[in-house]
Chain A
Amino acid sequence: MSEQDFIVEMRGITRRFPGITACDGVSIQIRKGEIYAILGENGAGKSTLMSMLFGMIEPDEGEIYIRGKRERIDSPRRATQLSIGMVHQHFCLVSNYTVAENIILGMEPKKKWGFFPMVDIAGANAEVAALSERYGLKVNPEDVIEDLSVATQQRVEILKMLYREAEILIFDEPTAVLTPQEILAFLNIVRGLRDQGKTVILITHKLEEIKQVADRCAILRRGKLITVMDVSSSSTSDMARMMVGREVSFTTPKAPHDFGPAVLRLENLTVGNAVGCNAVNSVSFEVRAGEVLGIAGVSGNGQNELADSIMGLRKSQSGKIFLNGRDITGLSVRERVEAGIAYIPEDRHNVGLVLDFTLRDNLMLRQYYQAKFTHRHFMDEAAFEKYGEELIRRYDIRSNQGGATIVRSMSGGNQQKAIIARELDLKTPLVVFMQPTRGLDAGAVSNIHRRIIEERDRGAAVLLISLDLDEIMDCSDTVAVIFGGRISRIAPAASLTVDEIGLYMMGVRGGEVA
């Protein structure tokens, strides 16, 4: 096979970061017009590898060939010139600009007004409309980005690449933020792009999607290329084994049992958001002892406000919250903790931890003021240390200096373990998990899922709020779907299918309970 057949060739790419080799001698070859998946766990080096192809970082060693020619890609600008485009996991859009303005930014169509170069915004709108027509990517050029759904913003990102006549399209975890139906639509878009002759590179850790669209799949593990597989001739379990390096079970074992009395009960709870709209709208449900209630929903449908108001971080406007029959609506955060709520927040860095404190101090945040940890109103360092070391051991929190480690320097998975240790050790009757596995790799995820089930089996009521539908289905006894601040469906997990939940998540169906 001659070199010309490969549109992208990366040879012996190595990139080191302080303390870690993110990519270690990776060589891949991508054919023109194929869908090439890059599969690996978090931290396997997928994104790093593709960031180098897009010029965001440069390799320490190795060579990149585009269309058979050796290129030095030192900036996204250079990558764009080589007709490489990338859609990042966090979209790169100007939030207060229209769709068309975002697409043309940097390559504006101009019209002269005297000697004055003006942006031809009418022309841009027409051009974007034509482009969106041609590739079947429905957008309205004049909509403002911040009013659009995530899926639409993603289409804008794709159009941005196509406007720049990109031939090689890189997608970084494109489906992480989409509902099941949106994922199907997205995969169709990807097929459409391939049929128009584009080369598509998908960075993902979702095997199902690879199986559905990809032609070939490179598997990375800890920075090394493990193998390149033909997708049509390999099974998802083969790919999973290659990715993780061992057999993985996709489900968390869970013994059936009966639920106790209601621990958490919400009555017509209404919560406002930062701009004063009702983010949570007259929500009522209960979570029983020994039950995991999973709340599924697309990001921004009131999940944050719901969790914050249960924990007391945000005031509710009306409605009541009961914990074991006691009205806790007016209590402060500390009073709620003492009443028996543990909270694993979504935002570990700002809400969950004090990043510049030591691990030991972070583990103490809930209890430092209590009699057993104080000595004549001074903090009892010795008691801190003893308790901290015990939690570190029991919850297997790994860090380079033990309890004295500054939390900022720890890995995401261990930071999350620290929060979980602190909260679960309170042994409260109610535990609220908000997006507990966001950004963690498969090993850490299964560990946390096991903890959730342990809490349930201990007899605690567990409220699990997650954007990851698989996680909800895997752990929950009962599933509630939140859409537009209302619970649109609540039913035993076993009686629901993923597709059905997806429809409720998008608001296509609903109204039974609301």
Chain B
Amino acid sequence: MTELLNMVIIDGLSFALPLFIMAIGGIYSEKSGITNLALEGFQGVGAFAGAFAAVFLAQYTAGPMPCYFSFLFAMIGGGVFALLHALLCIRFRANQVISGVVMNILAVAMTTFLTKRINAAVFGNAGNKFMLGTIARFTVPGLSDIPVLGAIFTNVYPFEGFILVVAAVMSCVLYCTPFGLRLRACGDNPHAADAAGVDVNRVRTVAVVISGCLSGIAGMSFAYSISANFSADIFLGYGYLSIAALIFGNWTILPAFWACLLFGFAHSGGMALILRLGLPSSYNDLVRILPYVLTLVLLIFFSRHNRSPRALGEPYEKGKR
């Protein structure tokens, strides 16, 4: 039983934290006023870029270097791809929902195609995935011996710590710095921000790119943990789950964290339940829907009280009020 509980906590955290960093990305984008349904696509493209970098570097060097670089490139990849969403939504004033959906479809098609081509051209094999393996986990000595809560410090993926650090920095930037103040103003009343000398469209572009970078971290984390490779299987809808988390969190970071934890534990708890009941692994797919069912149920309670940023989804036009 303890073992099962430990498993729920360990797997729950390793699922929840990537969701969380992606949700922060979404909060950045939406707080600045740009609807972002494209997190799913961003994380996938980020994972693609990172996985390619890792596999490429692994040809020349062993050790942890490819892994570090994979996260760097995942952020760059997610960020560059996000720039496209920013361009469509801000420069060309496209409908932000449609642009987001298009980003997601484009991400799946593009990465699938490119993975095959790159495998053939660069690595000389015919696979449709980049093999990564999982990264080594570590256990914090001492802290991991605490009953129950010790599981938090047991079998931790390195990226979990990285995500927490990045999340802390990003919260600070959003809530304590001038940039964060301006960013949140753009999502509530861009006219006020503009009148105060803030370049609304630039702030929004930066915010969308940040959401791409953070989603890239999430995608790379999934690639290194759940799937152990990069393939089109990375597009499992986790991006949408993090959107749900940020909405339950009322577009604020800390409550979104709790929502992500809830999803994480729903995910791992379901898996544990199957183990416990000794059901065949084909039931895994059934359990995977658990977080989504939870989403539907929570939506009933939360939707009424939550308030989205006032200018969310509206392209900013100077002079139009």
Contacts and interface: CB of A to CB of B under 8 A. Distances in A.
Contacts of A107: 196-197
B276 interface: no
Interface string B284-308: 0000000000000000000000000
Contacts of A105: 181-182, 185, 192-193, 196, 198
B178 A95 contact: no
A108 interface: yes
Interface in A87-119: 88, 90, 92-97, 101-102, 104-108, 110, 113, 116-119
Given A106-B182, A107-B196, A119 B176 contact: yes
B193 A106 contact: yes
A104 B178 CA distance: 10
A129 interface: no
Contacts of B184: 94, 97
B32 to A, nearest CB: 13
A309 interface: no
A416 interface: no
Nearest to A95: B188
Contacts of B180: 119
Contact of B172 (A101, A116, A160): A116
Interface in A130-149: none
B119 interface: no
A145 to B, nearest CB: 9
A340 B315 CA distance: 43
Interface size class of B (residues with CB under 8 A): 20 to 34
Contacts of A119: 176-178, 180-181
A85 to B, nearest CB: 9
A95 B196 contact: no
Given A105-B182, A108-B178, A119-B178, A76 B192 contact: no
Interface size class of A (residues with CB under 8 A): 20 to 34
Contact of A101 (B177, B181, B194, B198): B181
Interface string A68-95: 0000000011001000001010101111
A346 B313 CA distance: 26
Contacts of A108: 178, 181
Interface string B196-212: 11100000000000000
Query: 8 closest pairs, A vs B, by CB?
Result: A106-B196, A106-B197, A108-B178, A92-B192, A105-B196, A77-B197, A94-B188, A94-B185
Interface of A: 51, 56-57, 76-77, 80, 86, 88, 90, 92-97, 101-102, 104-108, 110, 113, 116-119, 160
9 contacts: A51-B319, A88-B195, A90-B321, A94-B185, A105-B193, A106-B198, A107-B196, A118-B177, A119-B177
